[in-house]
């Protein structure tokens, strides 16, 4: 009897696993696809795996179950519009016969690719009818029919200005709906370790990518559109493995491997095809291509979940309305930041026109009857020099200056043998010529409007104009060689006493909100030689009055080959109109 009972119990125990397996035939159930078999009772085989140790919650989200891929119909021809910047066009990824096209055609699909791209462009610029590329995009969406529209935002904007990004995607969704096209987002990656700007957008490469992932996911969920998480595919390889090298030498743009990974991920996600089944290698070795296909396959099949601490909601997040007023022509009042005198004074920054020694020009001279401090340095300034340059008794002064670019600051007093070289003088010196540039670098501190160091304030520098007496101001603006030369974000204030400051909303701006446009006609002529500036941008000041104007620089010039980014302005002249 005892043996019989023991046999029954033994059989029952043996049948339990089979019963468990037999009760779960639905393979789409998460528990069936992700849960491991019950661990044996042997205490040397713990049930906990190493997943929690190798996947920190702050960097990598746990993988969700594989989703069922539903491949698109191969009998159709797909017209695709791809919109983006250098993260799209590097290595010809989005070209009509580029990497994406080759991946799709190798997989048996017929695609027609139309690509609109420009380096550094934001999505909002592709929506602007006054922008060359924006005009092209709007024409295509209105006059051509597409099955799929893929858009890629500037690489850091979803982090630095998520509302701008969200608003742009919302506008593209409306346009795609009108066109009858599907809208897809191309989510990019974090900058590679060592890139100079990485710390502005993340504590490391993976952190930046997760922040981008969160922003793309948020707006996609709001609008019910799809995302190709190329950045997440990057994170599957880097930084865990340095090979294949996904990045260009600049540590930001994609190298050939990065562009190929982007194409695999975009194609697989949008067409419902496992990238592991694609045979196209492009310029890569089969070994490297296999690594990329595996990373893309994982993201395409499993998705790219956002770690809880990074999750965002785009609902209700929109850009504030700007009250900036850009002028389309110069006002009829006088240019009062440049002074003409019919005498021969040449000291302290007066400049004598060599072709006519009876004419002299200079900028405003303030209470000290001098344009600016004569202090200058191409490397660093002492505290005493900085204090002198910051003295608002001069016609123009700067708080927060670090140093000046010696190759661009020019000679102020051309009538003397040595001359005085000082970029601050050139801010209001009345000369559009290339030798008279105001190239000013700001330090790393920020200041409140009263000129006091204040970590909570947005102003990286303050430029003050002292007109010597109360004036009425009609407009303020810049002349330069490009829109990137002057401040990309600023607030304008006026004051009668240099102590109490009133903000002028119509002249305050942020270039990410305001489409800065140069006056095309009737530009202000150079008082020296009647040259027209390449770019002239003027903002309305609405006839406000004051003795002083203070410019709070929030962001300096955009990054290009001549600047360091947000710590510099590199312009010809600040101009003020009034009476």
Phi, psi of 561 (to 5 degrees): -70, -15
CA distance 381 to 192: 33
116 Cβ neighbours under 8 A, 6+ residues apart: 81, 82, 83, 126, 133, 136, 137, 140
β-strands 502-503, 489-495 pairing: antiparallel
Report pLDDT for 8.
39
Q: Is the pTM of this model over 0.75?
A: no
Is-contact 229 216, C-beta < 8 A? yes
Report pLDDT for 517.
86
Task: Spell out the per-residue pLDDT of the chain, length 579, in tens.
Answer: 444 433 433 334 333 333 333 333 333 333 333 333 333 333 333 322 322 323 333 333 334 444 569 999 999 999 999 999 999 999 999 999 999 999 999 999 999 999 999 999 999 999 998 889 999 999 999 999 999 999 999 999 999 889 999 999 999 999 999 999 999 999 999 999 999 889 989 999 999 999 999 999 999 999 999 999 999 999 999 999 999 999 999 999 999 999 999 999 999 999 999 999 999 999 999 999 999 999 999 999 999 999 999 999 999 999 877 799 999 999 999 999 987 665 555 555 555 555 555 566 778 989 998 888 888 888 888 999 999 999 999 999 999 998 887 665 544 444 433 344 578 888 887 777 656 778 888 888 899 999 999 999 989 999 999 999 999 999 999 988 888 778 889 999 999 999 999 999 999 998 877 888 898 878 988 877 778 888 899 999 999 999 999 999 998 875 443 334 456 787 888 999 999
Is the C-alpha dihedral spanning 2, 5, 11, 12 positive or negative? negative
According to CATH, what is the number of the domain 77-305? 3.40.50.1110
Is-contact 500 493, C-beta < 8 A? no
Report pLDDT for 452.
96
State how far Cα 176 lies from the chain centre: 24
Report pLDDT for 411.
44
434-463 as b/e: b if 16+ CB within 10 A: eebbbbbbbbeebbbbebeeeeebebbbbb
Long-range CB pairs of 314-317, under 8 A, 24+ apart, other chains included:
314/162, 314/166, 314/215, 314/218, 314/219, 314/221, 314/222, 315/222, 317/162, 317/163, 317/166
Q: What is the number of other CB atoms lying within 10 angstroms of the CB of residue 248?
A: 17
Q: What is the number of other CB atoms lying within 10 angstroms of the CB of residue 291?
A: 18
The architecture that CATH gives domain 334-578 is: Sandwich (2.60)
Domain boundaries along the sequence of the chain: 77-305, 334-578
β-strands 334-335, 573-578 pairing: antiparallel
Report pLDDT for 562.
39
Is-contact 367 467, C-beta < 8 A? no
Is-contact 534 524, C-beta < 8 A? no
């Amino acid at each position: 009897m005892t043996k019989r009972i023991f046999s029954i119990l033994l059989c029952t125990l043996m049948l339990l696993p089979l019963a468990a397996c037999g009760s779960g035939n639905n393979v789409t159930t998460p528990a069936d696809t992700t849960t491991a078999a019950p661990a044996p009772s042997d205490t040397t085989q713990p049930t906990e795996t190493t997943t929690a140790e190798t996947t920190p919650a702050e960097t990598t989200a746990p993988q969700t179950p594989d989703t069922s891929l539903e491949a698109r119909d191969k009998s159709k021809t797909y017209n695709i519009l791809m919109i983006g910047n250098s993260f799209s066009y590097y290595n010809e990824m989005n070209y009509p016969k580029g990497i994406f096209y080759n991946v799709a055609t190798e997989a048996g699909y017929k695609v027609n690719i139309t690509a609109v791209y420009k380096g550094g462009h934001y999505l909002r610029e592709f929506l602007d009818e006054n922008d060359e590329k924006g005009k092209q995009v709007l024409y295509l969406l209105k006059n051509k029919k597409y099955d799929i529209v893929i858009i890629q935002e500037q690489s850091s904007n979803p982090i630095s200005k998520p509302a701008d990004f969200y608003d742009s995607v919302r506008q593209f969704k409306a346009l795609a709906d009108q066109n009858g096209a599907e809208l897809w987002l191309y989510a990019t990656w974090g900058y590679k370790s060592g890139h100079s700007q990485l710390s502005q957008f993340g504590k490391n490469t993976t952190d930046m990518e997760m922040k981008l992932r969160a922003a793309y996911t948020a707006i996609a969920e709001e609008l019910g559109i799809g995302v190709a998480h190329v950045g997440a595919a990057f994170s599957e390889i880097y930084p865990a493995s340095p090979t294949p090298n996904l990045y260009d030498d600049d540590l930001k743009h994609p190298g050939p491997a990065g562009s190929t990974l982007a194409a695999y991920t975009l194609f697989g996600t949008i067409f419902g095809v496992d990238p592991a089944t694609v045979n196209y290698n492009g310029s890569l070795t089969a070994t490297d291509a296999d690594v990329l296909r595996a990373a893309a396959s994982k993201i395409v099949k499993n998705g790219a979940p956002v770690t809880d601490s990074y999750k965002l909601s785009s609902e209700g997040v929109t850009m504030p309305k700007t009250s900036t007023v850009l002028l389309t022509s110069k006002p009829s009042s006088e240019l009062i930041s440049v002074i003409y005198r019919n005498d021969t004074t040449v000291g302290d920054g007066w400049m004598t026109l060599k072709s006519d020694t009876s004419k002299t020009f200079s900028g405003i001279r303030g209470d000290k009857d001098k344009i600016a401090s004569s202090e200058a340095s191409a490397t660093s300034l002492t505290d005493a020099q900085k204090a002198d340059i910051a003295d608002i008794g001069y016609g123009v002064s700067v708080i927060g200056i670090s140093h000046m670019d010696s190759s661009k600051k020019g000679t102020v007093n051309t009538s003397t043998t040595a001359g005085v070289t000082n970029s601050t003088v050139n801010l209001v010196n009345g000369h559009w010529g290339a030798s008279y540039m105001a190239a000013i670098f700001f330090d790393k501190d920020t200041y409140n409007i009263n000129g006091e160091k204040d970590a909570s304030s947005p102003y990286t520098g303050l430029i003050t104009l002292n007109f010597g007496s109360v004036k009425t101001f009609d407009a303020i603006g810049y002349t330069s060689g490009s829109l990137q030369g002057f401040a990309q974000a600023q607030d304008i204030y006026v004051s009668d006493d240099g102590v109490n400051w009133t903000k002028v909303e119509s002249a305050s701006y942020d270039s990410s909100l305001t489409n800065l446009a140069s006056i095309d006609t009737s530009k202000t002529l150079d008082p020296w030689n009647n040259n027209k500036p390449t770019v002239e941008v003027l903002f309305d000041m609405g006839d406000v009055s004051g003795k002083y104007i203070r410019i709070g620089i929030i962001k300096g010039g955009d990054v290009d080959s001549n600047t360091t980014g947000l710590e510099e302005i590199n312009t010809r002249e600040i101009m003020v109109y009034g009476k």
